[in-house]
Chains A and B, each alone.
Chain A
């Protein structure tokens, strides 16, 4: 099989990165940025976008209690002041209950007005729980009330070419089952869980509409570039202030903005399933700090031989991660696409 090649930035910026790596070596410090300058630059971009492009009076931020939404909130406040930012907490019963507490902490810390809207009744009405349980029972017939579950990926580091998925389900008594998901139940589970992101985004836009505000999306670069979002769900927004930042850089901004330690020290989760699930279990091949460096290397033509010692993996493993990055970009290109018009419509341009 032909080895896929990571997209390489051959602009002047990319050449500068390669020169910097040659001079200083490759490590986590390669992602160090000037946090103060970055905050100023992003704040200015938010102000200009609201005033000139979006023509909106403020911003709505959906708060999950995680680092990305908290930093997005902090940047919006820095840009336009707390009185022009509205936060929405959207908890779900029985899932990641720590998020609600941390989301409130973030909102109070940055001094914004906020509300909490529980999405459980909406999910119930949409049939999310019924559809999800029916899909799980396609592979675990005894699945029922009191069970917990999550979806995890195959191990990219030790397999090559394909990513597939397993359902992990835990009985009320604690015994766990792990089953590879065939296509139909996998798609049914995915479709059922996507209701959550789309319901949350619907609520954010409700508040944006009534306030004449813009919705600030919260994906970081790993999520945005590799397609870790739901179309018309968390992928939807009017502005995405941190989509260009690697996750490690989001943490640097968090420290600069004074984000509370409880939020900065929390492990990234998906907040989607009833069992605790890390983002590296569900989508990314590695923990975010290593994934950041692999994506950065991939984007800047830094070879696997240079990356491997910096992150404690073998060269072959890094090459598999590079191939996985290419595959994810290709597979999720659809999520970034605007609607395809069969014929152009003159007079409408974005």
Chain B
């Protein structure tokens, strides 16, 4: 797991949703269960991921497994970046 990814995501969450870092937000903290991010908030997460990492999020990917925690988001982004890189390599060859 790319820890820079997790750190960037964590900073985004704190800056835009929590405003204070009291140390309670862990990589596994569920946003939905803890009332941190609602339906509109997930739109903001999608925009953040798309604009920061150049990924296009399709409808089927808007699920808690990809967006409901710092770890989930970082893992999702990492997988997509790898497949994007693989696709570019394949296209170049």
A contact residues vs B (CB 8 Å cutoff): 1-2, 4, 154, 159-164, 180-184, 186-187, 327, 330-331
Contact = CB atoms under 8 A, between A and B. Distances in A.
Interface stretch (B7-15, B17-25, B36-44, B79-87): B36-44
A4 B33 CA distance: 8
B64 to A, nearest CB: 4
Interface string B49-86: 01000000001001110011000000000000000000
Contacts of B42: 162, 164
Main secondary structure of the interface of A (DSSP, over half): loop
Nearest to A180: B59
B71 to A, nearest CB: 13
Contacts of A186: 40, 43
A8 to B, nearest CB: 18
Contact of A164 (B30, B33, B62, B64): B62
Given A1-B30, A160-B63, A327-B38, 17 more contacts: A1-B32, A1-B68, A2-B33, A161-B67, A162-B42, A162-B63, A164-B43, A164-B59, A183-B43, A184-B47, A187-B40, A327-B32, A327-B39, A330-B35, A331-B38, A331-B39, A331-B40
A186 B42 CA distance: 12
B5 interface: no
Contacts of A163: 39
Contacts of B68: 1, 161
B44 A183 contact: yes
A182 B62 contact: no
Contacts of A182: 43, 46-47, 50
A340 to B, nearest CB: 15
Nearest to A323: B32
17 contacts: A1-B64, A1-B68, A2-B30, A4-B32, A4-B33, A154-B59, A159-B62, A161-B64, A162-B64, A163-B39, A164-B39, A180-B59, A181-B43, A182-B47, A183-B40, A183-B44, A327-B38
Contacts of B59: 154, 164, 180
